[in-house]
Structure 1
Amino acid sequence: MDSSQYQVRSIKINQLPIFDPKNPREDTRLFRWINRVHIPTRQQVIRHQLLFKEGDTVDSRMLSENERLLRQQKYASDAKVRVLNRCDTAVDLEVVTREVWTLVPGFSFHTSGGDNSLDVGLRDSNALGSGQRVSLFYSNDANRSSYKLAFENPNIGNTHRVIKLQADKSTDGFHYLAEYELPFFSLDADKAWKFGYESTKEMLSQYQFGKRVTEVDRRHDVAELSRGLSTGLVNGVTTRLRYGVRDEDYRYAPGTKRPAPAAMPDDLHLTYPFLELESIEDKYAVAYNISQIYRTEDLLLGRSYRASIGFATNSGGRLILNGQYSDTLLSRPKMLLQWRADWRARWDPSAKEWEDTLINANLDFHRGQTENRTLYMGLAASKAINLNSSEQLTLGGSTGLRGFDSHYLNGDTMLKFTAEERMFSNYQVLQLLRIGVAGFVDVGRVYGKTQWGAGRTFSNVGLGLRLAPSKTDEARIIHIDLAYPLGNNIPGGKSVQLVVEARGSF
């Protein structure tokens, strides 16, 4: 469809099965049985995710946005909105989605630099084809064991209203979440609101050479009431304004298994109004083999930012800043350069200093060499200012240096560089898993207040296997990395590190 506007005469929903019967490798007795027993997404669930109905006026931009919205849903691995027939200014549209298996007995194991974690449970991100999500999990890691129960309805009564409920009970505390909101569900949405409450109690550990040395018991409660307004998409840019009130309460106590830090954090209670500005440039592209393995990816190439400011008059007063920014510096065939930054900061006017402030910046470069081979290079920097003693800026394991223990280094400033030669394969193991391979080099260093290694560069080399499920709802990739540290005089010695984890990208 061109940029002209057309009136929608009819809408046909075409739901493709999980396994393609036209593909000889998937046309087997087992896969045909799975297609039969799978409960498909109800057509009304898909229809209520559309930004248009019969009689409405649409253009190519709106259809492209709707494809992105459908691909974001847990019940579809891919989506396409296409024109079946065109007569003058009227069109018949077909919405095509590819079903995925959503009832999954979950099992995942994560090991990184000496830290192990295990998740076992059951989740369904499309319960009985309704689009609603439920999950029950048991988790065990180096810090805690916990049971997790969660429920989400992403479209209550077909109004785009969302409800989220979560309850976690762990050996060191709990996590409760309740949210009811109307999000900005499209670029043209003109209003939003939110009621939310979250309470977390957990034990936070502090590290030295990857070993836990101290710990702090922290409870954090936050409640929010907010509203958002927008003029919609104007000249290719959506601008949104949110305002509301937020109440945050931090309470700290010594841990029970390890000593407390020399200086315990002070309790803090903040109640403040806030104002948030958000902007999104409607500039997207469809790509493959960037962060996923042969799975449709929607890349935001335009500028996007969100910045909020609040001021609390209690607890001596605090200025609270939060935000993020991203943009594309270079976008050419087989070449992509993007950067992003995020920050959280608090200014204490009585002490005239920043506290609990953390700023992160990332630069990502992708250079396509062949259809299935890409060079990736990433540069990351973080700066911490007066973090309280319950938190640390660390480097090691899955945080960036895969050849070292998790939390191996800590300091006030962190720099990290990664280079990866990535190979993507369209071959599927049992038609269920796509395979990728990566050879990588990690280089990093920390500066500032650290027990050892400040200003010294650490590096490692390694090989990794990537496994991407192709028929389930999660666009997550299993990483299996073997990494070896380079250099001498490394406390704890040098040994091959195994990192196994599930991540959202290659």
Structure 2
Amino acid sequence: MSISHLFFCRLPVACLVGLLLLLGEVCQAQQVIPPVTQDSTLTDTTRQKFDDRVMENLRQMSERKTIMGKLLKAILVFDRVDEEVYGLDAELIEKEYEKHTYKIVRRIDIMSLKPFGYSVNDTSRVPANFFEKLGNSLHVKTGRGQIRNKLLFEKKAPLEPLALIESERLLRQTSYILDARIIVNEETTTEDSVDVFVVTKDIFSLGGSGSYTPSSGRGRVSLRELNFLGQGHQVEASYRFNLNNRPRPWEAAGYYSIENIGRTYIAADVAYVDKNYFKEKSAHLRRDFFSTNTKYAGAVGVSWIDQRIMLPPTSEDTIPTYANLVYNQQDAWLGRSFRFKSYNLGYEPRSRLILGLRYTRTDYSVRPSNSFQDNTLIMGSLGYSIRKYYKDRYLFGFGRTEDVPVGTLLSFTTGYEKGDLRERKYFAASISLAKYETEFGYLYGKASYGSFMREGKWEQGVLQLESLYFTKLAEWGNWKLRHFFWGRSTWGINRNPEELLSINDESGLRGFRSTLLRGSRRVSLNYEANLYTPFSLFGFKLATVAFADLAWLSAGNKSSPFKGVPYQGYGIGFRFRNEYLSFSTIQLTLSYYPQLPVNEQINAFRIFNTSRPYYDFHDFQFTRPGVADFY
């Protein structure tokens, strides 16, 4: 099976819809608002000429009657102009509406837009061609009630500080909404009342993917609906068939979620997974500290897990050895946030003091060793949080508005585990910080440590360090460039033998796959450059990606990972993204790994595709007390 055949077999169903919907862009220039420049004398004419030359050369090539000319004409759009987006001046979001604090909300108008042809910045825009209209006809837009349930303000009530901008952020972070604007009608505003206009734009919420290998008959199909009938319910199902060398030739999984029940901000999640080496049945109700002003958060749930875990490999092993682990768990927690008193009615302090309490009961029916014991774990946390947000673009999206979290999160956790074999205490501390400036970029740092103590000795400890930095956006006309740097360290201290780390994919080297390469201490460094081009491929905006990864891994609990030569990964690729679809990102990458494990047959070169960004933001939202992750 050819690489191109494999790649396009994995294209999601929603992407096929997108191809038809957005081919109309090839046939006609998009109708957009001309960009507004602050000062034409500040334009870099040298860069602008370079941009124009590249575009003009490609345009001329597309007009030739050659195979390359026909290909360029078929797949590239030369007339796309970025839509002007307002409010992206990198000022703190809290300053936008502070003058309207405590005014009475007289009227709330809500406009929900379908995915194609509409704009939250220009509500006069409408679908311009048949393909956009066809796509919208297949989509049920978000109901006004669902949007209203996300708002932190209501009619005939005073407008609390942060309510407008926090509501806009919550709408924008909803999985089935592409973008949102909340606008105060300044023309009708009085000294004591305001009229508010809310406009949102959906993504095309129906998506899916699939693959098939003719030689073996193996295949996979998955479907996903992020906004069932416009009510915010999310359904996902997947099925794999004709699996060779497995105990059973098929696997299935299903997930169902309700993001917000009424105006309670309580979410419900149900999962059913039936795979060969992992089975799960779970149900949870949860409420997060979704907003700065949220007072109460918590969750309650139950889960049953049956999985196969890898046993510690030796240097002579050529195949991995496994053992079964089966357990059920009941989990509940409750958190309370306290805000500091402010004597300035026009200002809402962002800092919060938070208390959390958690109860977990775990019962094992199958366990490979006495490292796993039936236990009851009670934990408490004290946290201090400051949360702020900036707006920017071209971070993880291709031009949509994105919220950049900055602030501080400090937490202390203690707990007590009572088991059928032993009893022990738990202690943990964590601190994270982030800053963002227009000329500097974004810098995030985190340090955390957690460990059990039994009979005066520390065990199952983990020290974690993390730092993420991305540069400011460099622009040459319609070309945009941003660099990302990511460093992580996970240091296991007296871990159980079955608890192992890898450097596969997100854990260290993207695209890397090794079965036997495992250890207890890991350090990884990642670099990535994203060049956003002015081209569109069948409506999917195009970016080029280059990366370099390094990872160190130690085998023992007391050895340093830096004693060995680091494993390396290098690659280049293309990323296609359509902001209007639920399955919006496709990345095809060619990678090279110069150092490989000696006891495994792994190719040094690999072509792989992915559908999600390698990096992500860490919000400064307090979460449930828990044992530090080790994975």
Q: Return the TM-score normalized by structure 2.
A: 0.70
Q: Residue 54 of structure 1 aligns with which residue?
A: 155
Q: Residue 190 of structure 1 aligns with which residue?
A: 295
Could you tell me how far apart the structure 2 residues matched to 1:437 and 1:130 are? 36
Alignment of 1:243-262 (within 5 A): 243-250=357-364, 252-253=366-367
Aligned equivalent of 1:94, options 172, 178, 197: 197
Over alpha carbons, which structure has the higher Rg?
Answer: 2
Q: Does residue 104 of structure 2 align to residue 7 of structure 1? A: yes
Could you tell me how far apart the structure 2 residues matched to 1:118 and 1:66 are? 42
Paired residue type of 2:205: T
Could you tell me how far apart the structure 2 residues matched to 1:71 and 1:320 are? 38
Q: Deviations over 1:90-148 (max 9, x none)?
A: 11111111111112234379xxxxxxx97522221211111111222225899896311
Q: CA deviation at 1:339?
A: 1.5
Greater strand proportion: 1
Q: 1:435 to 1:49 in 2, by over 3 A?
A: same
Q: 1:179 to 1:232 in 2, by over 3 A?
A: farther
RMSD: 3.3
Q: Deviations over 1:408-440 (max 9, x none)?
A: 633232121122221123543332x23221112
CA contact (8 A) 1:409 1:453 kept: no
Aligned equivalent of 1:104, options 172, 182, 207: 207
For CA contacts below 8 A with separation 6 or more, give which structure has more relative contact order. 2
Q: CA deviation at 1:335?
A: 1.7
Q: Which runs of 5+ in 2 are unaligned?
A: 1-95, 213-217, 342-348, 616-631
Q: Deviations over 1:288-320 (max 9, x none)?
A: 122333232211111124543210233321223
Alignment of 1:404-419 (within 5 A): 404-407=512-515, 409-419=517-527
Q: CA deviation at 1:181?
A: 3.2
Could you tell me how far apart the structure 1 residues matched to 2:182 and 2:173 are? 14
Q: Residue 266 of structure 1 aligns with which residue?
A: 371
Q: Residue 82 of structure 1 aligns with which residue?
A: 183
Q: CA deviation at 1:441?
A: 1.4
Could you tell me how far apart the structure 1 residues matched to 2:549 and 2:118 are? 43
- Range with greater deviation from structure 2 (21-30 or 373-382): 21-30
Q: Does residue 145 of structure 2 align to residue 44 of structure 1? A: yes
Could you tell me how far apart the structure 1 residues matched to 2:146 and 2:164 are? 17
Q: CA deviation at 1:488?
A: 9.1
Aligned equivalent of 1:242, options 338, 344, 356: 356
CA contact (8 A) 2:529 2:546 kept: yes
Could you tell me how far apart the structure 1 residues matched to 2:574 and 2:176 are? 27
Paired residue type of 1:190: K
Q: CA deviation at 1:505?
A: 4.6
Q: Residue 383 of structure 2 aligns with which residue?
A: 278
Q: State the SS of the aligned residue for 1:87.
A: coil
- Range with greater deviation from structure 2 (456-465 or 49-58): 456-465
Q: Residue 310 of structure 1 aligns with which residue?
A: 415
Could you tell me how far apart the structure 1 residues matched to 2:487 and 2:210 are? 32
Could you tell me how far apart the structure 2 residues matched to 1:232 and 1:21 are? 40
Q: CA deviation at 1:195?
A: 1.6
Q: Residue 438 of structure 1 aligns with which residue?
A: 545
Could you tell me how far apart the structure 2 residues matched to 1:417 and 1:62 are? 39
Q: 1:343 to 1:297 in 2, by over 3 A?
A: farther
Q: Deviations over 1:160-215 (max 9, x none)?
A: 22221111122234201111234333221222332211221111235679964111
Q: 1:92 to 1:369 in 2, by over 3 A?
A: closer
Q: CA deviation at 1:155?
A: 2.1
Q: State the SS of the aligned residue for 2:150.
A: coil
Could you tell me how far apart the structure 1 residues matched to 2:219 and 2:614 are? 20
Alignment of 1:124-273 (within 5 A): 124-139=225-240, 146-206=251-311, 212-232=319-339, 235-250=349-364, 252-253=366-367, 264=369, 266-273=371-378
Could you tell me how far apart the structure 1 residues matched to 2:318 and 2:201 are? 46
Q: 1:388 to 1:499 in 2, by over 3 A?
A: farther
Paired residue type of 2:444: Q
Q: 1:98 to 1:334 in 2, by over 3 A?
A: farther
Q: CA deviation at 1:83?
A: 0.9
CA contact (8 A) 2:153 2:160 kept: no
Q: Does residue 572 of structure 2 align to residue 471 of structure 1? A: no
Aligned equivalent of 1:363, options 461, 467, 487: 467
CA contact (8 A) 1:216 1:390 kept: no
CA contact (8 A) 1:251 1:267 kept: no
Aligned equivalent of 1:64, options 165, 169, 172: 165
Paired residue type of 2:232: G
Could you tell me how far apart the structure 1 residues matched to 2:153 and 2:538 are? 39
Q: Which runs of 5+ in 1 are unaligned?
A: 110-116, 255-263
Paired residue type of 1:473: S
Q: 1:202 to 1:505 in 2, by over 3 A?
A: same
Could you tell me how far apart the structure 2 residues matched to 1:242 and 1:224 are? 14
Paired residue type of 2:536: Q
Could you tell me how far apart the structure 2 residues matched to 1:275 and 1:426 are? 51
Could you tell me how far apart the structure 2 residues matched to 1:295 and 1:133 are? 22
Could you tell me how far apart the structure 2 residues matched to 1:451 and 1:306 are? 28
Could you tell me how far apart the structure 1 residues matched to 2:561 and 2:430 are? 31
Paired residue type of 1:236: R
Q: CA deviation at 1:250?
A: 4.2
Q: 1:274 to 1:298 in 2, by over 3 A?
A: same
Q: CA deviation at 1:368?
A: 2.8
CA contact (8 A) 1:292 1:505 kept: no
Could you tell me how far apart the structure 1 residues matched to 2:318 and 2:581 are? 37
CA contact (8 A) 2:552 2:565 kept: yes
Could you tell me how far apart the structure 1 residues matched to 2:161 and 2:226 are? 30
Q: Residue 483 of structure 2 aligns with which residue?
A: 375
Q: 1:250 to 1:390 in 2, by over 3 A?
A: farther
Q: 1:335 to 1:484 in 2, by over 3 A?
A: same
Could you tell me how far apart the structure 2 residues matched to 1:469 and 1:21 are? 15
Could you tell me how far apart the structure 1 residues matched to 2:384 and 2:497 are? 35
Q: State the SS of the aligned residue for 1:65.
A: helix
Q: 1:135 to 1:460 in 2, by over 3 A?
A: closer
Q: Deviations over 1:429-486 (max 9, x none)?
A: 332x232211121122223528999522232321122232311235x64332221123
Q: Residue 73 of structure 1 aligns with which residue?
A: 174
Identity %: 20
Q: State the SS of the aligned residue for 2:321.
A: strand
Could you tell me how far apart the structure 1 residues matched to 2:596 and 2:318 are? 20
Q: State the SS of the aligned residue for 1:34.
A: helix
Q: CA deviation at 1:56?
A: 2.2
Could you tell me how far apart the structure 2 residues matched to 1:77 and 1:338 are? 25
Q: 1:485 to 1:192 in 2, by over 3 A?
A: closer
Q: State the SS of the aligned residue for 1:166.
A: strand
Q: Does residue 495 of structure 2 align to residue 495 of structure 1? A: no
Q: 1:505 to 1:427 in 2, by over 3 A?
A: farther
Q: 1:367 to 1:249 in 2, by over 3 A?
A: same
Q: 1:243 to 1:119 in 2, by over 3 A?
A: farther
Q: CA deviation at 1:44?
A: 0.8
- Range with greater deviation from structure 2 (124-133 or 336-345): 336-345
Q: Deviations over 1:254-304 (max 9, x none)?
A: 6xxxxxxxxx45331121322123333131111112233323221111112
Paired residue type of 1:134: V
Q: Return the TM-score normalized by structure 1.
A: 0.85
Could you tell me how far apart the structure 2 residues matched to 1:383 and 1:272 are? 23
CA contact (8 A) 2:528 2:546 kept: yes
Aligned equivalent of 2:565, options 456, 459, 463: 456
